[in-house]
Amino acid sequence: MPGRSRDALSPRLSVGDATAPRPQRVSARPSRFDGTPRRRPDARRAVLWHSRTVPFDHNDHYHRLLLRFVPRGCRTALDVGCGTGRFARRLAGLGVAVDAVDPAAEVIAVARALSAGTDGGPRFEQGDITRMELPAGRYDYISCLASIHHVPFGTVAALREALAPGGVLVILGCYPERTAADLAWSLPAVPVNAAARLAVAAGDALRRAPAARTRVKAPVRPPLMPLRQVRAEAAALLPGCTIRRLLFWRYLLVFRDGARPAATDARA
């Protein structure tokens, strides 16, 4: 993933270090999330048309669920692996100041174009979250939608340190089918997924944009970490978190800063 060299970063929490103290912001080169002016969206990209990677987007399906965990009085949020910015824009629509990061330059360009001319929209930044210096204790809400499997799971330790007191980290994660329980959850998902795709594809066919416009898709990567391992690592790095399975090969992890030091999960 693209990003600044680790040599350019000030001392900070090492990814995956669950016991390190909270980092201090001592860098002479502040993060873009510290207020450095951003470039305005490139006007030449304003004609880009963003379409779904597949007719039925599993991540979009869970937006409403994830928004339920936005804490009352939330002022700042970080969306990790934001893609073209659908969820980041929904957060911004709640009046939240949203920083959104993704390593793919092409999708960040589309995200900026789609938000051009919108007051209070997200601030999009291209970068590798494992190499970025996140301000300690800044964000009331941090979201990762199908993006945490693109980086070492230990990255959640840095996200944890970036939470403000009482802040919430939500991860909509993906997992591979490895156990009988995984396969059992896949059985009802397959027909529902097929029906939803057909319905959404039919609707899209009626309002499809001109074919000459450019489609941009966020990079994808198959998940490798089994759900059992996710639970084990989350219990160590995010004590007090909850994990439960969802349909469409997803799980939901919720961590609240200041939660009790005993991870719980729904193992069904």
Mean pLDDT of the chain: 75
The pair of three-digit structure tokens given for residue 146, joined into one six-digit string: 């199908």
The pair of three-digit structure tokens given for residue 9, joined into one six-digit string: 């970063």
Neighbours of 97 (CB within 10 A): 15
Mean pLDDT of 20-28: 40
Least confident of 25-29, 93-97, 234-238: 25-29
Instruction: Confirm if 31 and 158 have CB atoms less than 8 A apart.
Output: no
Residue 131 to residue 3: CA distance in whole angstroms: 6
* pLDDT confidence of residue 40: 39
Residue 94 to residue 188: CA distance in whole angstroms: 33
Give the fold, CATH level 3, of 41-268.
Answer: Rossmann fold (3.40.50)
The pair of three-digit structure tokens given for residue 113, joined into one six-digit string: 């174009």
Those residues with Cβ within 8 angstroms of residue 80's Cβ, 6 or more apart along the chain or in another chain: 101, 129, 142, 143, 144, 147, 148, 159
pLDDT above 50: residue 36:
no
Those residues with Cβ within 8 angstroms of residue 69's Cβ, 6 or more apart along the chain or in another chain: 141, 168, 170, 254
Looking at the DSSP assignment, which residues form a beta bridge with residue 266? Answer: 244
pLDDT, one tens digit per residue, over 46-85 is: 323 333 344 446 677 789 999 999 999 999 999 999 999 9
Tell me which residue of 78, 84, 74 sits closest to 134, measured CA to CA: 78
Domain residue extents for the chain: 41-268
pLDDT, one tens digit per residue, over 222-241 is: 888 999 999 999 999 999 99
The pair of three-digit structure tokens given for residue 32, joined into one six-digit string: 């873009």
Q: Would you call 83 exposed, middle or buried from its count of C-beta atoms within 10 A (0-12, 13-18, 19+)?
A: buried
pLDDT, one tens digit per residue, over 113-163 is: 999 888 889 999 999 999 999 999 999 999 999 999 999 999 999 999 999
pLDDT above 60: residue 105:
yes
Handedness of CA 214, 219, 222, 223 (dihedral sign): negative
Residue 114 to residue 41: CA distance in whole angstroms: 9
Residue 18 to residue 158: CA distance in whole angstroms: 9
pLDDT, one tens digit per residue, over 176-228 is: 988 888 778 777 666 555 555 555 555 556 655 444 344 556 667 788 899 99
* pLDDT confidence of residue 208: 58
Residue 132 to residue 135: CA distance in whole angstroms: 10
pLDDT above 90: residue 112:
yes
